Structure 1
Amino acid sequence: MISPRLISLVAAIAATSPSFAERSYINDKKAPENRHDLEVIQKHLTQVLPKARKATVCIDLGEGSGSGVVISKDGLILTAAHVTGGVGKEFTVVFEDGRKVTAESLGLNSETDAAMARILDDGTYPFVPYDRNSSTRLGDWVFSLGHSGGFDKDRGSVVRIGRLVRMSDTTIQSDCNLIGGDSGGPLFDLEGRLIGIHSRVGNRLPENMHVPMNEFLENWDAMSKSEFLGEGPFAKKPEKGKGFLGLLAEKHDKAGLKVKKVGRESPAEEAGIKIGDVLLKMDGVELERRDDFKDLMKEKAPDDRVVFEMLRNGKVETLTLRLGNRDD
Structure 2
Amino acid sequence: MKFPSILPVLALLPWCAFADEGRPYVDDKKAPDSRQDLEAIQTALEKALPKARAATVCIEIKEGSGSGVIVSPEGLVLTAAHVATGVNKNVTVVLEDGTRLKAKTLGLVADKDAAMLQIVEKGTYPFVDIDKASTTRLGDWVFALGHSGGFDKERGSVVRLGRLVRIADSTIQSDCMLIGGDSGGPLFDLAGRMIGIHSRVGQQLQVNMHVPMSVYTENWDRMLKAEFIGEGPFAQLPEKGNGFLGLATEPRPEGGLRVTKVGSKSPAEEAGIKDGDIILKMNGTDLKTREQLQDLLKEMSAGDELTLETERNGEHKTHTLELGER
With the shorter chain as reference, the TM-score category is: 0.7 to 0.9
Partner of 1:85: 85
Question: Counterpart of 2:71 in structure 1: which amino acid?
Answer: I
How many Å separate the matches in 1 of 2:145 and 2:30?
24
Q: Give the CA deviation at 1:291.
A: 1.4
SS of structure 2 residue aligned to 1:102: strand
Partner of 1:249: 249
Is the CA contact 1:88–1:303 (under 8 Å) kept in the aligned structure 2?
no
Pairing of 1:2-41 with structure 2 (within 5 A): 22-41=22-41
TM-score by length of 2: 0.85
Partner of 2:9: none
Question: Counterpart of 1:79 in structure 2: which amino acid?
Answer: T
How many Å separate the matches in 1 of 2:50 and 2:264?
47
How many Å separate the matches in 1 of 2:126 and 2:108?
23
Segment of structure 1 superposing worse, 182-191 or 132-141: 132-141
Question: Counterpart of 1:213 in structure 2: which amino acid?
Answer: M
Question: Counterpart of 1:159 in structure 2: which amino acid?
Answer: V
Is the CA contact 2:266–2:324 (under 8 Å) kept in the aligned structure 1?
no
How many Å separate the matches in 2 of 1:320 and 1:119?
22
SS of structure 1 residue aligned to 2:293: helix
How many Å separate the matches in 2 of 1:305 and 1:39?
51
Q: Which runs of 5+ in 2 are unaligned?
A: 1-19
Is the CA contact 2:272–2:319 (under 8 Å) kept in the aligned structure 1?
no
Partner of 1:179: 179
Segment of structure 1 superposing worse, 41-50 or 150-159: 150-159
Q: Give the CA deviation at 1:274.
A: 4.8
Is the CA contact 2:72–2:127 (under 8 Å) kept in the aligned structure 1?
yes
Backbone CA RMSD of aligned residues: 2.4
Segment of structure 1 superposing worse, 79-88 or 256-265: 256-265
Partner of 2:297: 297
Classify 1:318/1:226 alpha carbon distance in 2 versus 1 (closer, same or farther; 3 Å): farther
Is the CA contact 1:69–1:186 (under 8 Å) kept in the aligned structure 2?
yes
Q: Give the CA deviation at 1:233.
A: 0.9
Per-residue CA distance 1:149-208 (angstroms, 9 max, x = gap): 222222221111111111122111111111121111100011111110000111112211
How many Å separate the matches in 2 of 1:296 and 1:80?
30
Partner of 2:323: 324
TM-score by length of 1: 0.85
Question: Counterpart of 2:242 in structure 1: which amino acid?
Answer: K
Confirm whether residue 199 of structure 1 aligns to residue 199 of structure 2.
yes
Segment of structure 1 superposing worse, 66-75 or 254-263: 254-263
Partner of 2:239: 239
Is the CA contact 2:58–2:68 (under 8 Å) kept in the aligned structure 1?
yes
Q: Give the CA deviation at 1:314.
A: 6.3
Partner of 1:10: none
Partner of 1:6: none
Per-residue CA distance 1:276-321 (angstroms, 9 max, x = gap): 4443443454433211211221221012132445566668x68462
Is the CA contact 1:307–1:318 (under 8 Å) kept in the aligned structure 2?
no
Partner of 2:267: 267
Question: Counterpart of 1:137 in structure 2: which amino acid?
Answer: R
Partner of 1:3: none
Is the CA contact 1:283–1:307 (under 8 Å) kept in the aligned structure 2?
yes
How many Å separate the matches in 1 of 2:159 and 2:165?
18
Is the CA contact 1:185–1:197 (under 8 Å) kept in the aligned structure 2?
yes
Partner of 2:170: 170
Partner of 2:128: 128
SS of structure 1 residue aligned to 2:301: coil
How many Å separate the matches in 2 of 1:24 and 1:295?
60
Pairing of 1:37-186 with structure 2 (within 5 A): 37-186=37-186
How many Å separate the matches in 2 of 1:211 and 1:167?
10
Is the CA contact 1:267–1:321 (under 8 Å) kept in the aligned structure 2?
no
Partner of 1:210: 210
